[in-house]
Amino acid sequence: MNKLINSLLVAAALFVGSAAFAEPVPGRDYTLLKQPQPTTTKNIEVLEFFFYGCSHCYHLHPLLSEWEKTMPKDVEMILVPTIFRDNWEPMARTYYALESLGQQQKLHDALYRAWNEDKIDINDEAKVSDFAARHGVDKAKFSAAYNSFSMQSKVTRAKQMIRSYGISGTPSLVVDGKYLINGLQPADTIRVLGEVVAMARKEQKK
């Protein structure tokens, strides 16, 4: 039932976007970054700055997941775990550890539920290791990835990106290195995302 509702909300957002707001409005729908950032793909890049402990991210996540399933082939979504404080770093480590093991997509939904519904402290390495094991991830491999040198490099890179993009809250989406979308209701975020992606596509063709 929840999946059906999410699908209908996404469809409604896209319909409203195409029918009533063909052109997103700067300052209302999105903000231009003061300093555009280089992208890492030839496609239209969408960066999602998120935090598992963010209730707004939690409510946007199902709609964004539905949008991803039908997003155009020339769009690439890249997730960036956000670290505003030191005690946010463990969740970023969990994300990158699972990514390195090829398990991030499988457990992404479960991690949101673990913190927001089941009240599991996924900031605690031992508890998140047990959580991962319950979902079929080898404990020793998870621990090795969680504490690896490359992990620290990824965490440092995420912190640098947060500063470079001027991210001050979550969830935040950045399209093509210059259009920042944040502070909207979930359905409006999906609508504006579709509109900004279409605008970025037009600019790429110029």
pLDDT at 73: 95
Neighbouring CB atoms inside 10 A of 104's CB total 16
Residue spans per domain, the chain: 2-204
31 close to 205: Cβ distance less than 8 angstroms: no
pTM: 0.88
Q: What confidence tens digit (pLDDT) does each residue in 18-38 have?
A: 444 468 999 999 999 999 999
Alpha-carbon distance 81 to 77, whole Å? Answer: 13
pLDDT of residue 117: 97
Topology of the domain covering 2-204: Glutaredoxin (3.40.30)
Q: Which residues does residue 26 pair with via DSSP β-bridges, in sequence order?
A: 30
pLDDT tens across 109-151, in order? 999 999 999 999 999 999 999 999 999 999 999 999 999 999 9
The pLDDT tens digits for 72-116 are 999 999 999 999 999 999 999 999 999 999 999 999 999 999 999
